[in-house]
Amino acid sequence: MLDGLIAYLDSIKARDPAPRSRWEILLYPGVLALGLHRIAHWLFQAELYFCARFVNHLSRALTAIDIHPGAQIGRNFFIDHGFVVIGETAVIGDDVTIYQGATLGGTNPTNGHGGKRHPTIGDGAIISLGAAVLGPITVGARARVGANAVVTKDVAEGQVVVGIPAKPMLVDAREYQRGFVPYGTQCSERFDPQTQQLEILKCELESMRGRLASLIEERDAEKAKVRAAGERDCA
């Protein structure tokens, strides 16, 4: 157990340069919230729902992090700062990082999603600050959700999504990331959403030019056929 705790604290230190020691990490609200959630989840599975809720409310009061006792969370989960909400049917993989203000929210049970109402987050994914991932969707392994994005559709493995509603960026996370990237996106104009939108428009323009050239070729070919047919009739 001690080895597992040390490995967990080291995984957080690898993602956060602020702590000077493992002891300091033990004071993080995200670490306390996860520890209390483990207890609440065990009580929830034992159908001791009131006790599970009590631990949940205690955790929320102490950490400003609200994790429903029913949520399933994997290894090395790190909440950087607080004010995070995670719903009942959320499933979170290993080595996931969530920043402050993010929400893993659910859909209205009356709309046909009465069972799995919350997202599934793949291993190594990053949910940046203020992001909202809503509904029974899947965020693939190593995917990145940008700050304040609103995600309502599946995110592919290794994909970077930004905006409201969230849309994929042109650059796949696997092409530029070398290890962990804080907040899920690099602070560079290369990955600025406006720059990406300009690149998308350029691609669309090139596609339209190619289509226009193809149509012109087809028209010229038809004219050549008509001209050839007219010359044969005259002969």
β partners of residue 151: 133
Residue 188 has pLDDT above 80, yes or no: no
Mean residue pLDDT of the chain comes to 83
Which of 43-52, 91-100, 146-155, 213-222 has the lowest average pLDDT? Answer: 213-222
DSSP helix, strand, coil percent of the chain (3-state; round to 5): 45, 15, 40
Which of 78-92, 112-126, 129-143, 164-178 has the lowest average pLDDT? Answer: 164-178
Is 105 within 8 Å of 133 (Cβ atoms)? yes
Question: How high is the pLDDT of residue 173?
Answer: 47
Residues 58-70, mean pLDDT to the nearest whole number: 94
Question: How high is the pLDDT of residue 116?
Answer: 86
Q: Give pLDDT tens digits for 81-112.
A: 889 999 999 999 999 999 999 999 987 766 54
Residue 223 has pLDDT above 90, yes or no: no
Question: How high is the pLDDT of residue 230?
Answer: 72
Is 133 within 8 Å of 104 (Cβ atoms)? yes
Contacts of 115 (CB under 8 A, 6+ apart): 89
Could you tell me the pTM of the whole model? 0.71
**Residue 215 structure tokens:** 């149509």
Judging by beta carbons within 10 Å of its beta carbon (0-12, 13-18, 19+), is residue 216 exposed, middle or buried? exposed
Residues 129-149, mean pLDDT to the nearest whole number: 92
Residue 118 has pLDDT above 70, yes or no: yes
Better-predicted residue by pLDDT, 127 or 206? 127
Q: How confident is the model at residue 216 (pLDDT cuts 50, 70, 90)?
A: confident
For residues 195 and 198, what is the distance between their CA atoms, to the nearest angstrom?
5
For residues 107 and 114, what is the distance between their CA atoms, to the nearest angstrom?
8
Question: How high is the pLDDT of residue 89?
Answer: 92
